[in-house]
Amino acid sequence: MGWKDMARVGRDWAEAKKTELLTTDNRTRDDARAAGEEAERAGNREAVTSLLEGVLPEKWAQRITDARPENVAQRQAEHDAQEAAERRTRLEAAPTNPVELELSGGETGSLSAALPVTVEERPADPADADPDGPPPLAWLVVRVEAPEPVAFGTTTLSDLSVAVPSYAGPGRYDLVDLMRRGEAGEIGWWEAFDLYLSRAGEADDTTWYADLSGSAGPAWIEVEEGSLRLDLPLQSAVSAVRLVGTVAWS
């Protein structure tokens, strides 16, 4: 924040103070008072920061500059852009496989595309073992990623993760029952963190996660050699949907 920003802070404070003094609306007066107090705090922070930058040795002053919120935000934005570019390059070079999906509920649409698919079998990790509980679970995790979000009816698809807990080879897995058994201690306890559909590549309020409470209906995954079928209720902070379809891999 330079002298221009300091001038803006002063202008904001003066405008807030003028509104506070002249308005006859109580709520507007309270909002203006709060805005003026925040402008004062911003001005004080900037004054202290500028003072430290001016009197400290260069190396220490640079640390103060680096810690400015605007500089922290800029570095984070650059880091995110670099990660997105690396992800896009990786996926554009990856082999693709057929993906067929249908979405209903709060969003609707169909998707038929060839997209990068990765498959990971995770054996049960002895380090997760509870001496007083059932053994840890093995997993199958199948992930569909798009280099750029692709149209999916009224929404988009960037990343789909399908995870099968207590994986023991091809077969049909009832996720509602597996969740109930995990909560009852009949099998290892697990969470549905790897069961999600992301429209934009980053987890946010629009990301859907599997709803395995049973109240949203059945939830199952059927695994075959080189493919799976799924029928999953998903819930985000914004809407509820049902996802059905198939994912293949080679």
- Averaged over successive runs of 10 residues, the pLDDT of the chain (250 residues) comes to 49 54 64 62 56 61 69 75 74 87 97 95 85 90 93 96 97 97 94 93 88 96 97 97 97
- The pLDDT of residue 216: 95
Question: Hey, how many other C-beta atoms are within 10 angstroms of the C-beta on 86?
Answer: 10
- The pLDDT of residue 231: 98
Helix (H) / strand (E) containing 222: strand 220-224
Helix (H) / strand (E) containing 27: helix 26-55
Using the structure block, give the residue that is written with the tokens 């091809």: 170
Nearest to 169 by CA among 125, 228, 223: 223
pTM exceeding 0.75? no
- The pLDDT of residue 13: 47
Nearest to 152 by CA among 108, 117, 196: 108
CB 150 within 8 A of CB 157: yes
In the chain, where are the structural domains located? 3-67, 94-248
Nearest to 146 by CA among 204, 87, 205: 87
- The pLDDT of residue 48: 47
What is the distance between the alpha carbons of residues 190 and 185, in angstroms, rounded to a whole number? 10
- The pLDDT of residue 204: 87
- The pLDDT of residue 115: 95
- The pLDDT of residue 51: 45
Phi, psi dihedral angles at 22 (to 5 degrees): -100, -25
Tokens representing 18 are 């003028």
- The pLDDT of residue 101: 98
- The pLDDT of residue 186: 94
Burial 38-55 (b: 16+ CB within 10 A, else e): ebbebbeebeebeeebee
